[in-house]
Structure 1
Amino acid sequence: MILQRVGKGIRLGTVFDRAAARHPASPVYLDHDLDVAPELGRRLTLTEIADLIDDFASRLWAARVRPGDRVVVHKSDNFDISLLAYCVARVGAVPVLLSPKLDGATTARLLERLDRPALVTDQAKLEQELPSEVFDLAERVITAAGTFPGACALAELAGTPRVPAVTMPQDLPALITHTSGTTGLPKLAVQSGRTIQARCRPQSTLLAPVGRHEPIAVHVSFAHSRMISGAALFALRGHPLIMMRDDDPERAAELFARVPPGVIESHPNTLLHWESLAHHPARPLARVRCFSNTFDAIHPRTVASLLAASERNLPFFAQTYGQSETGAIAARTYTRRHRESADGRCVGRNFPGLTELRVVSRNGRAPAKDNPGRIEARSAGRIMTYLGEQQRFDDQFSEGGWWRMGDLGYRTKWGCLHLLDREVDEIPGINSTLELEDKLFTRLPELIEVIVIPDSAGVPVPVVCTRDDQPLDHARWRSAVADLPELAPPLQRRLDELPHTATTKVKRLELARLLG
């Protein structure tokens, strides 16, 4: 198969100009106020968003941000993180999005790797989290909200004359985001306008059955590459948008009851927490036509619970698989006909013309469920490089330009890809920790998280969290694990005690170190 050549690129800086020209009154709902413009309230239009981006891009220009500059955006959690990325792109600079969940020391190390970028942050980060050395590591420090000694405040540049958008060649770096950081210091992944556009195409395929009048609710990290490409695609299609910072089920229920979404996209762990909405008296999921997750396999129990809550005739769940480096490379859909016992390890097939998949043997034997191989992919949306780590990037390729996903699995005779484990999470004697966790979720509905990790002797230890932190019923646990591989006694923890990435995934290696 030959991957399709992507056209002109997405041109991030003018996405909302074009979206507003097509759908000027299309609404954007927020569950929080924008730090950069709280006066705009929580219901905006695409026209207002486009004007806001134009305004703040001009302020960045006045703050001496120029084409080709790298501009780190690391501020308190807010949708304006994503909007500032479009502002940076509008003046021809390269936005570098660092999650607000990163600690100050990690942020400083990444600034060092970026070789004196501009830093857009806020008063809260500078006062409470970032070390003073960021002023030495950054060419200039700019506050998007509040003020701080030595920093340029964008609020003080209000009324700056507007400047025209700068269009950069679409094969040059256009966006830098960091990986999830589950295995150490995050890597800085570089994308071009062309690779970002390529990532929009699989999502367009998945949205084909969905009418453009359907509101799309998005709860994805505002610093994630998926947010940047997704918001651009949804706006250009004209969907009303619901951009969420808070994943608290009660707050989500209130918002969805007021603005019923037709599509919900979020991280798998957030969707798992929203299972409780299936039985909420406000019926917040009643109008959902499509549920979608971001790049990670999801538990069948969650899929079944959410689909059962929809009152639409033919709701479906779009399961995608991929990573920050590749974008979505495979997908499958679930409908109500799929039972809760469906194989959650199946992540579907590739997107013809856009992605390719293969599974490579590790021992000369054909990859199978009891002998998983390494999953490799080729994708039109693959990143350009890891910034400052070219050798590390090159080492991820095998012969023929195949990208090593770092995952283990196999393909069935029908061509479906089954994801069993991350290579670094493999536990000898267990075919798939993820499949094991799926079974525990299905058998014990009170679980809201279960992670199986090895102890220092290699014995698999289940770490569990229960709904409302209720004590685990050990008799029910013993019954649930009776036919499973031998496990150590479960360790119960509160969900907020587990280390999470910016995309809500549990950091398994860090959790194992903490428990050790």
Structure 2
Amino acid sequence: MPELLRARAADQPDRTAIMTPGGRSLTFGAWDRRSDAVARALLDRGVRRGEPVALSFDGGDWPEFAIACLGVQKAGGAVLPLPTGLPPAQADGLRATAGARLTLTGLDGLEPFGARPPDVRIDPEDLAQIVFTSGTTGTPKAVAASHANLAYGYRPHPRVRPYAHSRLFAHAFPIGTNAAQMMLMDTLTAHPAALALPFFDAARFCALVDEHRVGTVFLVPPMAAELLRSGAHRGHDLSSVLLVSSSAAALPPATALELTRVFPAATVVNCYISTESAPARTAMIVDPRRPGSLGAPADPRDLRILRSDGEAAAPGEVGEVWLRCPAPPRSYLGEERSDVFRDGWVRMGDLGRLDDDGHLHLTDRESDVIKCGGLKVSTVQVEAALHEHPAVVEAAVVGLPHPVMGAVVGAAVRTAEPVTAPRLKRFLADRLARHERPVRIAFVDDFPRTTTGKILKPRVRELLAEVRNHETTSDPSPA
């Protein structure tokens, strides 16, 4: 990674790499010089090769974070980005798991005047980064990535730089997430500068896209849902956007189709990736003719569906989704063996199927499938049906224990306007089979979330367990 920065700084020292809404900016030349100084200061403090160094920066400190990140790596260390606003006890737990003895919260005292570049030899297989998974279904796991993994596919002097249609690309990903670290990698080699927002606010986001004529925007599904719910797009000109990329989870079909209308000039892409699989991903263009599909991968050989016996599933047959990672793979820190990483393939934790044309359809997370009597219910399918209701902004579906059926369907929804559970049930009656319909519905102002904005399903299950009356409503008036 340091070589990518040095090459860019040599080619375009005065070109802006990162800017913030508050007016701060960082050029490639300054990024290179200042990270050299940080690296030298860290070496003076005894940072060893491969040693994790925690970075705890506010969301508005993207330029400083970028300098610290490359400074740690130039010193031979590994970056541990901590999520913004993490409670101290949780931050301590992540540092302890990663083995980080040093934590940087700023650059004060790390940039001595005239510091010489560090003389550290970095091997491509050296540990470069530790990122924790979102922990939507359990305890977050530490995922280790080497320089060879992070820099795979990037070139110091590419013939055409990524996102060449843009002057700026915009995102509001929290610093401690895998999505944010991928944005930092893109910044090193992409044509546009990164407009990095400290947090996502739909009105502010749309205003900045309009003001700066942003050409590429990066979102996650909760951000897309909030943008659409807020109506902020109606007051701004978003015609400059030619690419909308959503990652971290699959966009609900209704949300994906609405994005194509809100950004009429843009190609909308579902980027199917996980913290474990990066840089392997499938960038799937949203096709209005196939609203239930994520799309088809650029190379069909990099995606496969396996049955429970390990054999390839036939078209239309549901199985485990695996992605091939051509780069040196990631691993769980401290674990030599894992059923997630296998011979260059990464198990995504999703169940899905391929149609006859090779388009991927996700049916559920393996851990989320509801077994109702002798039938299986896809929470993804139920959530997609809920999203089709015009009042529903977000939905989370979970299985609830039942003494006879084993489990039944429960749903929590966030709405843009009042609606009752009976009305939602009548809406779903034409879209879902009887065993798929929620027997209990709760309405929430917001969901418990991970730092990446993903909904915490275990907390939703706890919420629904407290809802005894399935006629719960978001509208106090009679149905």
CA distance in 2, matches of 1:278, 1:413: 37
- Could you tell me whether the CA contact under 8 Å between 1:14 and 1:90 is conserved in 2? no
Q: Which residue of 2 aligns with 1:188?
A: 142
Q: Show CA shifts across 1:62-121 (max 9, x none).
A: 433343322122343342444422221021111122323543333323333333x23324
Return the letter of the residue paired with 1:216: F
| Farther off after superposition, 50-59 or 235-244 | 50-59
5+ residue gaps in structure 1?
1-11, 34-40, 123-143, 145-153
- State yes or no: 1:330 paired with 2:282: yes
Q: Which residue of 2 aligns with 1:358?
A: 304
Q: Which residue of 2 aligns with 1:266?
A: 219
Identity between Structure 1 and Structure 2 (%): 24
3-state DSSP of counterpart to 1:56: helix
- State yes or no: 1:453 paired with 2:405: no
Shift of 1:281: 4.7
Shift of 1:263: 0.5
Q: Which residue of 2 aligns with 1:343?
A: 291
Shift of 1:242: 0.7
- State yes or no: 1:407 paired with 2:353: no
| Farther off after superposition, 474-483 or 169-178 | 474-483
- Could you tell me whether the CA contact under 8 Å between 2:400 and 2:410 is conserved in 1? yes
Q: Which residue of 2 aligns with 1:149?
A: none
Describe how 1:198-277 pairs up with structure 2 within 5 A. 198=152, 210-276=163-229
Shift of 1:160: 4.6
Report the aligned-residue RMSD: 3.1
Distance change in 2, residues 1:43/1:424 (3 Å): same
- State yes or no: 1:119 paired with 2:102: yes
Describe how 1:117-516 pairs up with structure 2 within 5 A. 117-122=100-105, 144=106, 154-165=107-118, 166-198=120-152, 210-276=163-229, 280-310=233-263, 312=265, 315-327=266-278, 328-334=280-286, 338=288, 342-349=290-297, 351=299, 356-362=302-308, 367=313, 372-381=318-327, 383-391=329-337, 394-397=338-341, 402-428=345-371, 429-442=375-388, 444-457=389-402, 458-467=407-416, 470-474=417-421, 476-483=423-430, 484=432, 485-495=436-446, 498-516=447-465
CA distance in 2, matches of 1:473, 1:447: 11
Return the letter of the residue paired with 1:357: L
Shift of 1:200: 5.2
Return the letter of the residue paired with 2:452: T
CA distance in 1, matches of 2:198, 2:115: 30
Q: Show CA shifts across 1:137-179 (max 9, x none).
A: xxxxxxx2xxxxxxxxx52454354131434010121111111
Q: Show CA shifts across 1:394-433 (max 9, x none).
A: 23346x5543221111122222222111110011245421
How many corresponding residue pairs?
Answer: 448
Distance change in 2, residues 1:277/1:368 (3 Å): farther
CA distance in 1, matches of 2:257, 2:427: 19
CA distance in 1, matches of 2:291, 2:377: 14
- Could you tell me whether the CA contact under 8 Å between 1:472 and 1:492 is conserved in 2? no
Distance change in 2, residues 1:359/1:451 (3 Å): same
Distance change in 2, residues 1:26/1:430 (3 Å): farther
Distance change in 2, residues 1:494/1:237 (3 Å): same
Q: Which residue of 2 aligns with 1:97?
A: 81
Shift of 1:299: 1.8
CA distance in 1, matches of 2:440, 2:82: 38
3-state DSSP of counterpart to 1:241: strand
Q: Show CA shifts across 1:360-410 (max 9, x none).
A: 11379985798621122321246332112334xx23346x55432211111
Shift of 1:213: 4.1
Q: Show CA shifts across 1:260-290 (max 9, x none).
A: 2100012221122122576635424221000
CA distance in 2, matches of 1:456, 1:222: 37
CA distance in 1, matches of 2:419, 2:443: 7
Shift of 1:212: 4.7
Distance change in 2, residues 1:246/1:372 (3 Å): same
CA distance in 1, matches of 2:160, 2:380: 25
1:69 to 38, 51, 57: 51
Return the letter of the residue paired with 2:137: T
Shift of 1:258: 1.7
Q: Show CA shifts across 1:293-318 (max 9, x none).
A: 12421123322322223353xx2112
Distance change in 2, residues 1:206/1:25 (3 Å): closer
5+ residue gaps in structure 2?
466-479
| Farther off after superposition, 426-435 or 472-481 | 472-481
Return the letter of the residue paired with 1:426: V
Task: Give the structure-2-normalised TM-score.
Answer: 0.83
3-state DSSP of counterpart to 1:472: coil
Distance change in 2, residues 1:91/1:181 (3 Å): same
Q: Show CA shifts across 1:118-141 (max 9, x none).
A: 33244xxxxxxxxxxxxxxxxxxx
Distance change in 2, residues 1:28/1:62 (3 Å): same
3-state DSSP of counterpart to 2:401: coil
- Could you tell me whether the CA contact under 8 Å between 1:329 and 1:350 is conserved in 2? no
CA distance in 2, matches of 1:98, 1:511: 25
- Could you tell me whether the CA contact under 8 Å between 1:297 and 1:345 is conserved in 2? no
3-state DSSP of counterpart to 1:349: coil
Distance change in 2, residues 1:101/1:513 (3 Å): farther
Distance change in 2, residues 1:501/1:82 (3 Å): farther
Higher relative contact order (CA closer than 8 Å, sequence separation 6+): 1
- Following TM superposition, where does structure 1 have runs of at least 4 consecutive aligned residues deviating by more than 6 angstroms? 204-208, 363-366
- Could you tell me whether the CA contact under 8 Å between 2:125 and 2:146 is conserved in 1? yes
